[in-house]
Amino acid sequence: MTPNVLFAAPDRLWARYQAPLTRALEEVGVSARLGPDAGPPEDVDYIVYAPHPGLQDFTPFTRAKAVLSLWAGVEKIVGNRTLTMPLARMVDAGLTEGMVEWVTGQVLRHHLGLDHVLSHQSGEWVQNVPPLARWRPVTVLGLGALGAACARALAALNFPVTGWSRTARDIPGIRCLHGEGGLAEALGSGQILVLLLPLTPETDGLLDAARLALLPDGAVVLNPGRGPLIDDAALLAALDAGRLGHATLDVFRTEPLPPSHPFWGHPRVTVSPHVASETRPESAARVIAENIRRGEAGEPFLHLVDRANGY
């Protein structure tokens, strides 16, 4: 049987994914009818999905075996009551590599004081020697696939890394904390804070004024996770008061970030336009193809979303 695979995503993405998905399906031995028009809804077997207005009601897809997300975050779809079939999120080596590179680069940028070096090229010989990494504690909130990979990469550079997650984790070389008490301890220990939590009702606004106050004076906040993890007003207040040294933000509550937003002109904020971990078609297509192969072979799907937890 040839499965019908509906590519349900913004139009611009089909041109990028058509060839990689076709190749990936061929590589795993699946001959599929693939595209934005894969037949009537009742004949569709799989839905490759990225959020867009064109598909909000999954009720007509009575034969669909799974919805396969192109995004790692599923907060925009997990609460859809019409989506009753299995939902798989994107867990991809390319996503992980991109995130590790961005986080490691930004941590080193702030640790080494590169902004100061690059802005003081006046000819005056001033030596500001940074501490060794072993004396710069880093906290990573979120120890899923991305957070754990970033924590390990930073630990390999000799940063003392504390990781926090909602439930207990054990990662060699990482000080792992969990629960509300563990969160306060983790925040209090990191001179550089990296946010890599999923967005759920429990994490929306997690970094509010009270929790920002737990960070050491002069701490740096890096957010490549989800924009709503941070209370924007509280963050700006802490930066304006000089309590925090800097915030480098890759994600925002509203994207693209409006030109009038105060983050753009703030001297202690760096705006990064959501580039930390972009889904790359070549590697993501292989993840999608493998799940379709599994579905056709009657094997368990990879990376299924836990609806109760929201990720």
The SS3 call for residue 176 is strand
Q: Residue 277: its pLDDT value, please? A: 85
pTM: 0.88
DSSP string spanning 121-141?
A: -SS-----PPPPGGGS-EEEE
Q: Which two tokens stand for residue 81?
A: 């009551």
The position carrying tokens 């904390």 is: 177
Q: Which sequence positions are flagged as catalytic?
A: 226, 274
Domains, the chain, ordered by start: 4-92+279-297 (3.40.50.720), 93-271 (3.40.50.720)
Residue-wise pLDDT for 46-73, tens only, equals 999 999 888 999 999 999 999 999 999 8
* Alpha-carbon span 49 to 95, nearest angstrom: 17
What integer pLDDT is reported at residue 286 of this predicted model? 97
pLDDT confidence of residue 258: 97
Q: What separation, in Å, do the N-terminal and C-terminal C-alpha atoms of the chain show?
A: 32
pLDDT (0 to 100) of residue 25: 98
Residues of the chain with pLDDT under 50: none
CA distance 205 to 215: 16
The confidence score (pLDDT) of residue 310 equals: 87
